[in-house]
Amino acid sequence: MYGGSQNDGNSLFSGGGFMPSQATQTPDSGVSPAKSRGTQGVLPLTVKQISEAFHSSDDKSGFVIDGVDASNVRLLGMVTKKMERVTDVSFTLDDGTGRIDVNRWVNEAAETNEMAAITNGMYVKVNGNLKGFQGKRHVVAFSVRPVTDFNDITNHFLECIHIHLCNTRLQYSAPSSMGGSENDIYNLVLGVFQEPASVASEHGLHVDEVARRLGIPMNKIKDAINYHVDIGHIYSTIDDNHFKSACNG
């Protein structure tokens, strides 16, 4: 599934993301890829994640995925429908979760040579800028590199999972706008579950017991419990009313 004319893998992947020398000054919709890149990192994503992205509230040209900026992205998948033109090369990338169109400007010899090595059926790693037009997403690539090691495919999807979990878990942290009393309730509820007697209990604590001990309305107890379950501090045991601390030490 890999092209036989690929370059040495060490040179292809030594830099991880895009390299400064690969920047192109060709504008896309009035903004050059080099400028749009700025100092932002490259976010590893799947096509499915991109299909679920939404516009940032303050910039309709930008996208947000899992609460973070998704301007610069890294994708990995198989090339299909490659089409060469005088100033650019386009193709469709299929990563198993979906398909997305990719465009690579080729105004310099190095860019032309890079894309000449790319063929249909080849797996590639794409770094680029996520764009949207008339409701359809596409990527303007900074670089397109052949994959020479199957481990890169596995590593990419593991990266996507890891970053997704990190970014979504961060959203469960208590909002800065939350009042002090609500933060106190969350801490009090967690404290009850982390008491040695509660940790030692085989089935944990019933929500009624937590409410009785703290003297706090049940709806607030359940809000706090749901919060701590979501971020992994506690978990349900024998039914939906018994919970136990995930900390066993």
Q: Which residue's entry shows tokens 């000054």?
A: 25
Q: Whole-number mean pLDDT of the chain?
A: 77
The number of CA neighbours under 13 Å toward the Cβ of 225 is 24
Comparing C-alpha atoms, which of 145, 56, 168 is closest to residue 93?
145
Beta bridge partners of 43: 73
pLDDT digits (tens, 9 = 90+) for 73-89: 999 999 999 999 999 99
CA 156 vs CA 11, 45, 96, 137: distances in Å? 18, 8, 13, 20
pLDDT at position 187: 85
Cα of first residue to Cα of last residue in the chain, in angstroms, is 49
pLDDT at 16 over 90: no
- Binning pLDDT at 50, 70 and 90, where does residue 121 land? very high
Structure token pair of residue 212 = 């009785």
**Angle (nearest 5°) at CA 168 between 164 and 169:** 115
Structure token pair of residue 66 = 């899992």
pLDDT at position 64: 83
pLDDT at 129 over 80: yes
β 99-105/136-146 pair status: parallel
pLDDT at position 143: 94
The DSSP call for residue 20 is G
- Binning pLDDT at 50, 70 and 90, where does residue 18 land? very low
- Binning pLDDT at 50, 70 and 90, where does residue 170 land? low
Burial class (CB in 10 A: 0-12, 13-18, 19+), 209: middle
Comparing C-alpha atoms, which of 95, 114, 156 is closest to residue 3?
114
Percent of the chain with pLDDT strictly greater than 90: 37
Q: Give this prediction's pTM.
A: 0.54
Burial class (CB in 10 A: 0-12, 13-18, 19+), 213: middle
pLDDT at 54 over 80: no
